Chain A
Amino acid sequence: MRSKWLVGVAVALALSLMIGVGVAPAQEPVRVGLPVPLTGFVAESAREMVEGFQLYLEQSGQKLGGRPVHVIIEDTEAQPQNALTKMRKLVEQDKVHLVVGYLLAFEGYAVRDYVDKNRVPLFLPIVAADDLTQRKRSPYIVRMTWTSSQPNHPLGEYASKTLKYRRMVTVGQDYAFGWENVGGFHRTFEQAGGKIVQKIWAPIGTADYAPYIAQIRRDVDAVYALLVGADIPRFVKQYQEFGLKGKIPLIGGNILTDEDVLSHMGAEAEGVITSHTYAATLKRAENQKFVEAFRARFKKDPSYYAEGMYTAALWLDRAIKMAGSVEDPLKLIGAVKKADLRDAPRGPLKLDEYNNPVETVYLRRVVKGPRGMENEVIGSIPNVSQFWTFNPAQYLGNPPYSRDFPPCGNCK
């Protein structure tokens, strides 16, 4: 009898404790899912993404919007099917309030339908695949950097109008990211009076670029290149060895001269002009503060992977404070749209109505600096939208950029 009574008391106590646990913390942590390809061919860049996010949280005392943060990092192994599996795990098992991360275009496309259907707020600080904020946009997806073609539109015009190039060859990596970059450049370069006379495509992970470089037509004013990861230093080096450097100028899309690959290149990269939304050398007080903190913490220069994630954390910090909660996805995204980001390291940012930033694009030239090769900012174009100067409705009526669009009317 007596023991039964004791058990009853114990159960009652335990129950009250459990209820207490459920009610007590007024500030339940914000659960953030952070899936990135930590293994595979972009492992280092993915690590830099985590470092950028980490740096912001260290500075903010591990809080976003005043609430403590619980970050769950998942490795997608650079596989589209894993990108989706990890998204399901984060949403269904960890019950995250929001997901911020991913690196590769196909990761973004792989999870697009899932987040749209399950109303998961997804923030993409690096994934540049055009259509995620264009033809396949979703109210639950916000991009925080740029679309692949976005920095290329101004570069095409610059190459024609300022650099006075008339005939050019493009060399691009043969998948969506490459097509969208080259396509954006091609379109505005020809619109401004230039002619693309040859388009060369090389698969990801091309070990030796010699077969492609040998094909480049020599009767042109310049070459545009957009390659990815390990392919970049190989291409730039061989461009010099085959005697093209100094004869035919090389310009390129954004990541061709990012800080993370520049640190592995020497004189062969000197003089290459690219356009991007960021450069570590950017002379903005906010950027210099960020670069110093990043160097002190991680002993290297940040490239846009770190800056993108740092700014994403800053952005979410402000939005969560404004929204007051993270439980309602659309309320949170509404606050993200309204948040003031004039003081982001890379420059002022605001979202267009398709959830993609309108921001400054910088023209950069590689020069030899005190720490090795670096990007010197030689020009800036403010308020660049993903649609450039085109009408959005008309732009979206065109097919997405691909191997065949824009068509190459001047290729023989």
Chain B
Amino acid sequence: MLAWATLVLNGVAFGSVLFLMSSGFTLAFGVMRIINVAHGALYLLGAYVAISVMHATGSFVLAAAAGGVSTMALGMLIQRLALERIYDNQLAQVLFTMGLAFVIGDVTLVVWGGHPQVLTAPAGLSGSVEFGPFIYPRYRVFVIILGAAVAAILWGVIAKTRLGATVRACVDDAEMAQGVGVHTRRLFTVMFGVSAFLAGLGGAIGAPIIGAARGLDFEVLPLTLVVVILGGLGSLGGALVGSLFVGIADSLGKALFPELSYFTLFAPMAIVLAVRPMGLFGKA
């Protein structure tokens, strides 16, 4: 019984990290119709930057912020210098971001080496919480709370603010939004920055659990794709539900059918695609 509770909680914690990743991915797609293949690379970069900042300053808050802000700056730069020029050409975007993913991956190898690294959680968040016989890592509790907080903030911004309204307008009909005076160029740059920020933050927050290692970029990317395809491209609610589903399915699948751990992830995606090609919460 305790083992099951642990497995489900683990799934929720992993789902939280996946949500940070996939909410960023889905925002960029929803607003700009960009499939950002470099999203996993941004995740990895955020994780490495956070580890270095943690080593240098010992502050986890700074480390997590640096992980997010560095990728945000890079993301905005990429948007302004390159993506803007190939807007409306999805094949070029996919190829460009894929090339970018390889470049970022190789740069991280040169800078941080090929050794796997783990971020040490700060003293206040390390250790375990105990409820009688139930022992659970404190850091994962924090990750679950943080994931919920980020989801609430994103929902609040999108649903209640003026920025959110313009974002929603762009998701529904970018041309019309431009027609009624939305400054799409600025909005796109900001939103791509936010998307990259969430990826980098996800890397930093995930680093004490998953660590940072060469190849991790292309391990997390497929999971993100499963999440957003399941939940519906462009839908934040879909990203949340998809993340929790993938997180828990991954955790239980590995315990129940270890030989089929990929099957338990991809089979639900295939079924959803067959029944609802736009995903659970996507718009056709």
Partner of A211, one of B137, B213, B254: B254
The interface bits of chain B over 53-79 (1 if a CB of A lies within 8 angstroms of the residue's CB, else 0) are 000000000000000000000000000
Tell me if B211 and A203 are in contact (CB < 8 A).
no
Smallest CB separation, A116 vs chain B (Å):
32
Known A-B contacts A211-B250, A229-B116, A241-B128; the reply to A41 vs B255 at CB < 8 A is no
Tell me if B115 and A260 are in contact (CB < 8 A).
yes
Indicate whether B113 reaches chain A with its CB closer than 8 angstroms. yes
Tell me if A232 and B116 are in contact (CB < 8 A).
yes
User: Within B21-45, which residues are at the interface with A (CB < 8 Å)?
Assistant: none
Smallest CB separation, B218 vs chain A (Å):
10
Indicate whether B135 reaches chain A with its CB closer than 8 angstroms. yes
Partner of A234, one of B130, B140, B211: B211
User: Within A16-46, which residues are at the interface with B (CB < 8 Å)?
Assistant: 40-44
Indicate whether A207 reaches chain B with its CB closer than 8 angstroms. yes
Smallest CB separation, B174 vs chain A (Å):
35
Tell me if B10 and A214 are in contact (CB < 8 A).
yes
Tell me if B6 and A210 are in contact (CB < 8 A).
yes
The interface bits of chain B over 128-160 (1 if a CB of A lies within 8 angstroms of the residue's CB, else 0) are 101000011101100000000000000000000
Tell me if B6 and A242 are in contact (CB < 8 A).
yes
Known A-B contacts A201-B258, A233-B211, A242-B137; the reply to A211 vs B10 at CB < 8 A is yes
**Residues of chain B lying within 8 A (CB to CB) of residue A200:** 258
Indicate whether A193 reaches chain B with its CB closer than 8 angstroms. no
Q: Which of A174, A211, A264 has the most CB of B within 10 A?
A: A211
Smallest CB separation, A262 vs chain B (Å):
11
Indicate whether B184 reaches chain A with its CB closer than 8 angstroms. no
Indicate whether B114 reaches chain A with its CB closer than 8 angstroms. yes
Indicate whether A237 reaches chain B with its CB closer than 8 angstroms. yes
Tell me if B116 and A203 are in contact (CB < 8 A).
no
Smallest CB separation, B217 vs chain A (Å):
12
Indicate whether A212 reaches chain B with its CB closer than 8 angstroms. yes
Smallest CB separation, A221 vs chain B (Å):
19
Q: Which of A203, A214, A234 has the most CB of B within 10 A?
A: A214
Known A-B contacts A44-B113, A232-B116; the reply to A214 vs B128 at CB < 8 A is no
**Residues of chain A lying within 8 A (CB to CB) of residue B93:** none
The interface bits of chain A over 109-150 (1 if a CB of B lies within 8 angstroms of the residue's CB, else 0) are 000000000000000000000000000000000000000000
**Residues of chain B lying within 8 A (CB to CB) of residue A201:** 258
Indicate whether B187 reaches chain A with its CB closer than 8 angstroms. no
Tell me if A207 and B216 are in contact (CB < 8 A).
yes
Indicate whether B52 reaches chain A with its CB closer than 8 angstroms. no
**Residues of chain A lying within 8 A (CB to CB) of residue B117:** 233, 264
Indicate whether B273 reaches chain A with its CB closer than 8 angstroms. no
Indicate whether A208 reaches chain B with its CB closer than 8 angstroms. yes
User: Bound complex: CA of A242 vs CA of B10, how far in Å?
Assistant: 11
Indicate whether B104 reaches chain A with its CB closer than 8 angstroms. no
Chain A interface category by residue count: 35 or more
Tell me if B116 and A241 are in contact (CB < 8 A).
no
Smallest CB separation, A265 vs chain B (Å):
8
**Residues of chain A lying within 8 A (CB to CB) of residue B118:** 233-234, 237, 264-265
User: Bound complex: CA of A237 vs CA of B126, how far in Å?
Assistant: 11
Closest-by-CB residue of A relative to B253 is: A211
Tell me if A214 and B255 are in contact (CB < 8 A).
yes
**Residues of chain B lying within 8 A (CB to CB) of residue A234:** 116, 118, 209-211
User: Bound complex: CA of A392 vs CA of B126, how far in Å?
Assistant: 49
Indicate whether A266 reaches chain B with its CB closer than 8 angstroms. yes
User: Bound complex: CA of A41 vs CA of B109, how far in Å?
Assistant: 11
Known A-B contacts A241-B137, A242-B137; the reply to A266 vs B215 at CB < 8 A is no
Closest-by-CB residue of A relative to B211 is: A234
Indicate whether B197 reaches chain A with its CB closer than 8 angstroms. no
Tell me if B219 and A205 are in contact (CB < 8 A).
yes
Closest-by-CB residue of B relative to A236 is: B118
User: Bound complex: CA of A241 vs CA of B137, how far in Å?
Assistant: 5
**Residues of chain A lying within 8 A (CB to CB) of residue B261:** 203
**Residues of chain B lying within 8 A (CB to CB) of residue A232:** 116
User: Bound complex: CA of A215 vs CA of B126, how far in Å?
Assistant: 22
Indicate whether B168 reaches chain A with its CB closer than 8 angstroms. no
**Residues of chain A lying within 8 A (CB to CB) of residue B255:** 211-212, 214-215
**Residues of chain B lying within 8 A (CB to CB) of residue A243:** 128, 130, 135
**Residues of chain A lying within 8 A (CB to CB) of residue B7:** 210-211, 214
The interface bits of chain B over 1-32 (1 if a CB of A lies within 8 angstroms of the residue's CB, else 0) are 00100110010011000000000000000000
User: Within A212-256, which residues are at the interface with B (CB < 8 Å)?
Assistant: 212, 214-215, 229-234, 237-238, 241-243
Smallest CB separation, A263 vs chain B (Å):
8
Closest-by-CB residue of B relative to A211 is: B254
Closest-by-CB residue of B relative to A241 is: B137
Smallest CB separation, A300 vs chain B (Å):
10
Partner of A264, one of B116, B140, B214, B216: B116
**Residues of chain B lying within 8 A (CB to CB) of residue A202:** 254, 258
Tell me if A214 and B3 are in contact (CB < 8 A).
yes
Tell me if A43 and B109 are in contact (CB < 8 A).
yes
**Residues of chain B lying within 8 A (CB to CB) of residue A212:** 254-255
Smallest CB separation, A96 vs chain B (Å):
27
User: Bound complex: CA of A92 vs CA of B254, how far in Å?
Assistant: 45
User: Bound complex: CA of A219 vs CA of B137, how far in Å?
Assistant: 21
**Residues of chain A lying within 8 A (CB to CB) of residue B139:** 241
**Residues of chain B lying within 8 A (CB to CB) of residue A205:** 215, 219
User: Bound complex: CA of A260 vs CA of B117, how far in Å?
Assistant: 11
Return the 9 tightest CB-CB contacts between A and B, nearest first.
Answer: A230-B116, A243-B135, A241-B137, A230-B213, A211-B254, A43-B114, A44-B114, A210-B10, A214-B6
**Interface residues of A, Cβ cutoff 8 Å to B:** 40-44, 47, 174, 200-203, 205, 207-208, 210-212, 214-215, 229-234, 237-238, 241-243, 260-261, 263-266
22 A-B pairs within 8 Å (CB atoms) are namely: A40-B214, A40-B215, A41-B214, A43-B109, A44-B113, A200-B258, A202-B254, A205-B215, A205-B219, A208-B10, A208-B210, A210-B209, A211-B251, A211-B255, A230-B213, A231-B116, A232-B116, A234-B116, A241-B126, A241-B127, A261-B115, A265-B118
Known: A40-B214, A211-B251, A230-B213. 14 other contacts (CB 8 A): A44-B113, A205-B219, A207-B216, A208-B14, A210-B10, A210-B14, A214-B255, A215-B3, A230-B216, A231-B116, A241-B139, A242-B128, A261-B116, A264-B118
